[in-house]
Amino acid sequence: PTEIQRLASDFLSNYIFLSVGRVGSSTDLIAQKVEFVYDVDKKTHLKDLLISEKMKGTNGKHALTIVFVETKRAVDQLAYWLSCNGFPATAIHGDKVQMERERALKSFKTG
């Protein structure tokens, strides 16, 4: 966020920077993975990862997973593909209306 703070000071007067927790890192409750996978293998690899994560759920709840992709179109396509393959999925991106985004977040939080 150094670049964002610089932009804020350039365009805003008396802006406030609010930080909760450590800046630039995630909570210890979130596991982040970065793996190199060839394009042709991505869906199969994702499916295998989701199956293994599904087994890690606790108290009868499945482990929650967020997947980031490059384009809005890819978001919708991946959510559809996941749903067709037995993984409850929802898409969130800037072309969705606020109500759709809120519904998707609520659906994610409740599992």
In this prediction, residue 26 carries a pLDDT of: 66
Report the pLDDT value the prediction gives residue 59, as an integer from 0 to 100.
57
Q: Return the pLDDT at 38.
A: 92
CATH of residue 106's domain is 3.40.50.300
- In this prediction the pTM is 0.66
Q: Quick count: other Cβ atoms within 10 Å of Cβ 52? A: 10
pLDDT in tens, 43-90: 999 999 888 877 776 655 667 788 888 899 999 999 999 999 998 888
**Is residue 36 domain-resident?**
yes
Give the per-residue pLDDT at 21: 65
Torsion on CA atoms 73, 75, 78, 79, rounded to nearest 10: -120
| Number of domains forming the structure of the chain | 1
What does the mean pLDDT of the chain come to?
82
Q: Is residue 16 part of a domain?
A: no
